[in-house]
Structure formats: structure tokens, C-alpha cells
Amino acid sequence: MIKEHKSTILLMIATLIWGTSFVAHRVAMEHMSPFTFNGVRFGIAGVLLLVVVLLIEMGGIRLRKEEASANNPIHALKNVFQGRTVIAGLITGSIIFAGSGLVMWGITVTGSASISSFTISTYVVLVPIAGIIIGKKTTAFAWVGVIIAVAGLYLISVPAEGFGGLNYGVIILLGAAVCWTVQILVTDRFVTSVKPLHFASVQCLIASGLSLIAAFLFEDVRISYIVAGALPILYTSLFGACIGFTLQMLGQKNVPPTRSAIVFSFETVVAAIAEAVILGDYLDGRGYFGCGLIFIGILVSQIRLKK
């Protein structure tokens, strides 16, 4: 229980970081395109994590007394890029590439960090339902949560005048929610059999490589754009990706995926507060009511009754 509580605190810190990152994402889109942003920020995060991992492997940093020093960079790299770690990183890195691309695209279309964060948070409802595919049971509360969350999605995506003004950004963000659902389940599958920092480093490097390829193929990549958005890039790479993903790996070792998902859901509240405080942007009453329904749906979906 003590380990689980400590791990939950790590997940909560990651949630605070990711919630404020939505504002940084929105600001970044004023300076550059999505794949460019993701490629650079994940690249910085991956390299920073790799440096830390190599220092640990070579004995420059000791996390535990029993750790031995390799004193060999090549041997240290081999320890990082082991088969199972590479496989896990390839899978989750590819998912993060797709999910992050959809997030940035959705934020651009919706123009709101609050709507974006609440829409993406529906992965919390999707996680227990997706668990059915891998043989995990779900509850009636999960399905009730889905219904409530869908009602909230309707309110934030369809304006009062009807479907003519449908916010297609919400549809795009639902695709991102599916990606994060898969990422949480896959992380839960691998996190106990690979080293968290190794895992986080490889997945960030994979996500960066795929994003940069897409950027050079489909976007106008310019150094001036990257320099203009340097602040949100540094914040999201150092805190959002580097620290956030590492905390996720460490936290999910002792916290089951369904419970992890509900902790992550609080990033929606953080994002809404951050957008209001930092950018001075607010939703109308219909928007906040819709977001509130999504949040209620998330909480309801996590109810468990003991016999």
C-alpha cells in the first residue's frame, strides 16, 4: 500500500505537468506545425533521458548502492537498446507519434485547451472497456460513464444551433483518446519487465524520429519557427515528455492501469484552470457543462462495488 501511495503521488505530479502542457501546446501552434513541434520536443526529451540513462549505466549516477559501473559507453548503449526495451519503445513511441499528432491538430481546430483536454480525457472511460479485448472484466458503471461522457462530448462539439457548426476538432481529439488508451494498456504490459528510464528514452526517440519524418514530408520546417516557439518546446520536452513519461513509467509499476487513468483524468481540470489563468480564455456555460459531464462520466466509470 505504501508503494502504491507513493506511485500515485508520482502519477499526480505527471498529471499536473501534462495539464499545464495543454496551454503550451496551444501557444506552440501559433509558431509552427504539429509534427515539427512534436519532433523537436520529443527529440530533446529522448536525448536528455538517454544521457541520464548512460550516466547511470556507466556509474556516473547511482540510484542504488548495488549498481555496478560499466565504464564503457558501447556496453551502456547495448544495455539501453535491448530487444524487449526496443520493442516496447517502438510500439508506444509509434502510438505517441500518432496520438500527439492528433492532439496538436485537434487543438488547432478547436482553439481551446480546455475542450481539448476534456475530450482526450475520455481515454479514462475507454481503458476499462478496452480491457475487455485483453480479457479483463468491466462493470456496468463503466458503460454508464460512457453514456454520460458522450452527452458531455455532444455539448462541447455540437453548438446550440445544431450540427451545422459541429466542432470537428473534437472528433480528431477522440482519435487521440483512443491512442492514449492503447498507450496506457501497452505501458502496463511492458513496464514491469523493462527499466522505466530506458523505456521512456526509447519511446521518446521513436516518437521524435517519426514526427520529424512527417514534418519534412508534409510541413514547412524552418529554424525561425522553432526559435519563436522555443519556450513551449522546452517546457513540453523537459517537463511534459522527459519528466512526465518517466513519472508515468515509475508510477504505473505499482498502480493498475484503470486507477492510473483516473489520476491522469485530473489533467483536464488543471488544463482548464491554466488556460483561464495564463491565457485569460474561458468557455461559455454550455462548454463548461459539457466538460463537467465528461468529468462526471470519468468518475462514474471508475466506481467499484465490493461484495
Q: What are the tens digits of pLDDT across the range 194-241? A: 888 888 899 999 999 999 999 999 999 999 999 999 999 999 998 988
The helix-helix angle for 83-110 and 168-190 (nearest 10°) equals: 160
Phi, psi of 143 (to 5 degrees): -70, -35
Whether the CB-CB separation of 45 and 294 falls below 8 Å is answered with no
CA dist., res. 102 & res. 174, Å (int): 9
Over residues 32-68, the pLDDT tens digits come to: 999 999 999 999 999 998 888 888 777 655 545 445 4
For residues 135 and 249, the model is more confident at 249
User: Does a structural domain hold residue 135?
Assistant: yes
Which domain range does residue 179 map to? 2-60+70-301
Higher pLDDT, 49 or 74: 49
User: Domain tally for the chain?
Assistant: 1
- The fraction of the chain above a pLDDT of 70, given in percent, is 89
Dump pLDDT digits (tens) for 102-136. 988 888 888 888 888 888 888 777 877 777 776 76
Residue 47 within any structural domain of the chain: yes
Beta carbons of 184 and 120 less than 8 angstroms apart:
no
pLDDT at 231: 93
**What's residue 56's pLDDT?**
78
Q: What grid cell was written down for 184?
A: 496506457
Q: Is residue 33 part of a domain?
A: yes
307 inside domain: no
- Confidence at residue 305, expressed as pLDDT on a 0 to 100 scale: 67
Q: What is the pLDDT of residue 175?
A: 93
Note whether residue 168 is domain-resident. yes
**Total Cβ atoms within 10 A of residue 63:** 8
Higher pLDDT, 223 or 189: 223
Contact in structure between 277 and 216 (CB atoms under 8 Å): no
Distances, alpha carbon 191 to alpha carbons 75, 88, 89, 113, 125, in Å: 22, 9, 11, 30, 22
Q: Which distant-in-sequence residues (6+ apart) come within 8 Å of 58 by Cβ?
A: 69, 70, 71, 72, 73, 76
Top-ranked range on mean pLDDT: pick from 43-57, 68-82, 139-153, 161-175: 43-57
Q: What is the Cα–Cα distance from 125 to 172, expressed in whole angstroms?
A: 17
pLDDT at 162 (0 to 100): 61
Query: Which sign does the torsion angle of CA 221, 222, 224, 227 carry?
Result: positive
Question: What pLDDT does residue 65 have?
Answer: 47
Residue 70 has pLDDT above 60, yes or no: no
Higher pLDDT, 142 or 45: 45
With respect to residue 225, please indicate whether it lies within any of the assigned structural domains: yes
Grid cell 501557444 is found at: 27
Note the pLDDT of residue 66. 45
- Residues 112 and 128: their CA atoms lie apart, in Å, by 27
Q: What is the pLDDT of residue 216?
A: 95
In angstroms, the CA 24 to CA 143 distance is 33
Amino acid 300: pLDDT: 81
Rounded (10°) CA dihedral 226, 208, 274, 295: 150
At 69, the pLDDT band (50, 70, 90 cuts) reads very low
Cβ contact 196:246 at 8 Å? yes
What is the tens place of the pLDDT at every residue in 261-271? Answer: 777 777 878 88
Give the sign of the dihedral formed by CA 228, CA 49, CA 242, CA 41: positive
Identify whether 65 is part of a domain: no
pLDDT (0 to 100) of residue 1: 64
Residue type, 213: I
pLDDT band at 255 (very low <50, low <70, confident <90, very high): confident
> What is the pTM (predicted TM-score) of this model?
0.79
Three cell numbers written together for 284: 461559455
Q: Is residue 306 part of a domain?
A: no
Q: Distance between CA 265 and CA 260 in Å, rounded? A: 9
If you ran DSSP here, which 8-state letter would residue 131 be given? G
